[in-house]
Chains A and B, each alone.
Chain A
């Protein structure tokens, strides 16, 4: 049997609570992180991702307590991201019981951070998160992807999707991989929160470009979307939040569906 495709619930955390926004806005309280982590782990999640969306330095202690609480409560891998700007930030998270850290804005601003983290903690610990949005202004210096709606390139946004950078997401990923990224967490800002499905054209373009695992994120609304992320998007893992939080589709229902469709899934 080949490597199983992973289903990853994501928990956006702020001030000790899990929240989930629509298109990165309008936050709504969805519960206690440790309790939710345990519930997802019991339900068959293959891995979890926690994103500290406030990520201010004054709540590092709160985050550390959450990470440690989660590490004690579950026995599946989990990643923590949000506000990690230095090896010291990463060490605090990893030594509190997380398996991987994800970096986004800080890595775009200071790409050497990726190499530093990989050298210190191992490449497998370093997830590079990319928030990407379609840009229809064709630019010969960017990687043009032919999509159903015409040619586009994918632009990297930082600061939780607030700031366009002018950087091409696919070119950035290639560079980040060379610097030591062990995995990519790729979020489509166009699809995030819509529940209309992942950006398959974006996901596939990245998966075919890098030889480390790619986690597709943004837009999952029903089991078929996960199937497409693996078959058409060629993703190694698929991440979602609201579809799990409000128990619309429990993890087990999605996994059963995928198994019946012939996808290799951990029971």
Chain B
């Protein structure tokens, strides 16, 4: 079975993501940041932690990680994991992985922060990751920042909360969601199954 490495750069719940990925037929292994990425058929950057702390934890392995992903290994970034795809973040200092130009912005305006709960997806670009997921589907969000890609071509879905923000991106083998598919019921499971299909190819 293909193996996905879940990179642990914070402290918190990674079990849910591991269990959800295993339900799709992948094997999932939680590991601290590592340069040993050859064993991985896919990599997941999970959504638990803080940008500055995660960027610091990834710093020693950044080159290996970026090279592996640029070499074609499928990558799934969730929440903070997606935010790390960009250059920097309003959450705090630190350098992201910079797969994409852009940065992470704080949610502002007359709304409660964190944006916590179920909100809907507007599909703006077709991607395999969302095969079989209907426009308007509800998924689970918990975040205070959102990514602002410079290149709008990578944007797959948008969601409204104070502003219309990018809630998922896809470009070649790089996929990211601002919401938590592992916490998004059947819709989330479908998205992870689609990712497993991409990995199995």
Chain A interfacial positions (CB closer than 8 Å to B) = 1-4, 6, 41, 46, 68, 71-72, 75-77, 91, 94-99, 120-125, 182-183, 211-213, 236-237, 266-267
- Which residues from A are CB-within-8-Å of B184? 75-76
Closest to A4 in B: B118
Interface residues of B in 132-151 (CB under 8 A from A): 136, 138, 140, 142-144
Closest to B182 in A: A75
Chain B interface size, under 10 / 10 to 19 / 20 to 34 / 35 or more: 35 or more
- Which residues from B are CB-within-8-Å of A237? 117
**Contacting pair A95 B15 (CB below 8 A):** yes
- Which residues from B are CB-within-8-Å of A94? 11-13
Whole-angstrom distance between the Cβ of B11 and the nearest chain A Cβ = 6
- Is B48 part of the contact surface with A, judged by Cβ < 8 Å? yes
What are 6 sample pairs from A and B whose C-beta atoms fall under 8 A apart? A1-B119, A2-B161, A3-B119, A68-B15, A212-B113, A237-B117
A95-B160 contact given A1-B136, A213-B116, CB 8 Å threshold: no
**Contacting pair A1 B12 (CB below 8 A):** no
> How far, in whole Å, are A39 and B37 apart by their CA atoms in the complex?
39
Closest to A212 in B: B112
- Which residues from A are CB-within-8-Å of B119? 1-4
**Contacting pair B12 A95 (CB below 8 A):** yes
**Contacting pair A212 B114 (CB below 8 A):** yes
> How far, in whole Å, are A205 and B19 apart by their CA atoms in the complex?
40
Closest to A119 in B: B50
**Contacting pair A122 B161 (CB below 8 A):** no
**Contacting pair B115 A95 (CB below 8 A):** no
- Which residues from A are CB-within-8-Å of B136? 1
- Which residues from B are CB-within-8-Å of A2? 119, 160-161
- Is B102 part of the contact surface with A, judged by Cβ < 8 Å? no
> How far, in whole Å, are A255 and B16 apart by their CA atoms in the complex?
26
- Is B56 part of the contact surface with A, judged by Cβ < 8 Å? no
> How far, in whole Å, are A194 and B68 apart by their CA atoms in the complex?
59
Chain B interfacial positions (CB closer than 8 Å to A) = 11-16, 19-20, 48-50, 112-120, 136, 138, 140, 142-144, 160-161, 180, 182-185, 188-189
> How far, in whole Å, are A23 and B160 apart by their CA atoms in the complex?
40
- Which residues from B are CB-within-8-Å of A95? 11-15
> How far, in whole Å, are A266 and B136 apart by their CA atoms in the complex?
10
Contacts A4-B119, A71-B16, A77-B180 known; 19 new A-B pairs at CB < 8 A:
A3-B117, A3-B118, A3-B161, A4-B120, A68-B15, A71-B13, A71-B19, A75-B16, A75-B185, A77-B140, A91-B11, A94-B13, A97-B13, A97-B16, A122-B49, A123-B144, A124-B114, A124-B143, A211-B113
- Which residues from B are CB-within-8-Å of A96? 15
> How far, in whole Å, are A125 and B11 apart by their CA atoms in the complex?
11
> How far, in whole Å, are A6 and B136 apart by their CA atoms in the complex?
17
Closest to B137 in A: A267
> How far, in whole Å, are A96 and B15 apart by their CA atoms in the complex?
7
Closest to B183 in A: A77
